[in-house]
Amino acid sequence: MVVVLVVVAGVVVLVVVVAGVVVLVVVVVVVVPGSVAPSCAAVTGLAADDDGVALRVTSAVSLPLPHAASTPTAAQTRMVVDRRTRRPYRSIGAERGRAVTVRRMGFRLANVDDRAVLVSPDELTYHDVADASGGTLSPDPMATLAVAEQLAELAVTLPSRAPTGSIADVTLGPPVPHPQKVFGIGLNYRDHAAETSKAVPDEPLVFTKFPSCLVGPTADIELRSDGVDYEGELVVVIGRSGRDIVAADAWNHVVGLMVGQDVSDRPQQYASTPPHFDLGKSFDTFGPTGPWLVALEDVPDPTQLRIVTEVNGEVRQDGTTADLILDVPTLIEYLSRIATLTTGDLIFTGTPAGVGAASGRFLRDGDVVTTTISGLGTMTNRCADR
């Protein structure tokens, strides 16, 4: 083991190397008299800005900064997109130092008995939002989507609070139970387009799902025919409303992501020409979502999420959001040119290859559909004839 201690301009850097691998880096900022250390004074760790917004610092800032006005405020934080990877991150530009990149503390928002709850970091317990906030935040899951900053602040305090209950003891509802609009995107993975023998569309193939189809992550899927299919998908949740949103600013309008199943009754979908995408995908129970909304800040890279759908333990779909033909910013830009996107609107972003229609293997009574997206969670839905 090699330990290296370097002191440069009031910054102490401790590096521990074991077997040629750096296992620990600690940065300590020494504040000289007459200077004010900003609240974001570490390479990684927790901090808070002047407005008390919880931040996770992910890169360093040159110090010292001569006055507190140089410390980032909540108003200065915004989601930006890396031009190469299109990966979103929070960024702050400090006037008197290097740029600071931070990520606000995230949260996991769930729905228990139509009340908003925050899920603990270990995903085993939950805290009722209204109770934990002393009544300052609404119990309505839809209302909480508009106060993401307050939810992040509240989430930081969860480890010091007694939980309301155990996740294992409750039935979760859809995290966003009453969106104004639910969009679906068809043929947004090349392998899925190929398996259906359809050409990749020049523009997004957009359909709608009726909000009444939404159910929770463990709800039964009701089968009305012998041709009901599964489609595991990433679901985007709009936070800040907007119209004519440009792609470069799109992630600023996203509050979080969820796992979704775009269940489809193929006979109904293709009962007419052109197809009834909306009707075939909007039967009651045809929109499982959950298990919770994961705030964008808690998703390491939404452009690299693995999507797996299993039926009775057999993997049927195994894809990644890296293969999306039209990425999330492009979809938001396109949709917002047509309709104002409002808080809580959902976008089912498309499904990878492996759907039942391609092999003739549709869902049957008693089948169990398990849908997992890395970093977002798992849904388990049983199929039942009706």
What the block records as the tokens of 384 is 């039942």
The pTM is what?
0.78
Helix (H, G, I), strand (E, B) or coil at 26: strand
Other CB atoms within a 10 A radius of the CB of residue 78 amount to 12
For residue 202, the model assigns a pLDDT of 83
Q: CB burial class (10 A; 0-12, 13-18, 19+) of residue 69? A: exposed
For residue 57, the model assigns a pLDDT of 43
For residue 232, the model assigns a pLDDT of 98
Helix (H, G, I), strand (E, B) or coil at 120: coil
Distances in whole angstroms, Cα of residue 9 to Cα of each of 6, 31, 108, 138, 284:
10, 10, 40, 47, 64
For residue 32, the model assigns a pLDDT of 39
What is the C-alpha separation between 326 and 223, in angstroms, rounded? 31
Range 266-273, long-range pairs (CB < 8 A, 24+ positions): 266/225, 266/227, 266/228, 266/229, 266/357, 266/362, 267/225, 267/226, 267/227, 268/224, 268/225
Read off the DSSP letter of residue 313. Answer: T
Read off the DSSP letter of residue 225. Answer: S
What is the C-alpha separation between 126 and 133, in angstroms, rounded? 13
What is the C-alpha separation between 149 and 143, in angstroms, rounded? 13
What does the pLDDT profile of the chain (386 residues) look like in tens digits? 555 555 444 445 555 555 555 544 444 444 333 333 333 333 334 444 443 444 444 433 332 322 333 334 444 444 444 443 444 544 444 433 444 444 557 999 999 999 999 999 999 999 999 999 999 999 999 999 999 999 999 999 999 999 999 999 999 999 999 999 999 999 999 899 889 888 888 899 999 999 999 999 999 999 999 999 999 999 999 999 999 999 999 999 999 999 999 999 999 999 999 999 999 999 999 999 999 999 998 998 999 999 999 999 999 999 999 999 999 999 999 999 999 999 999 999 999 999 999 999 999 999 999 999 999 999 999 999 99
Looking only at the bridges linking them, the beta strands covering 264-265 and 228-229 are antiparallel
- Residue 172 has phi, psi (to 5 degrees) of -80, 135
What is the C-alpha separation between 72 and 48, in angstroms, rounded? 9
For residue 41, the model assigns a pLDDT of 32
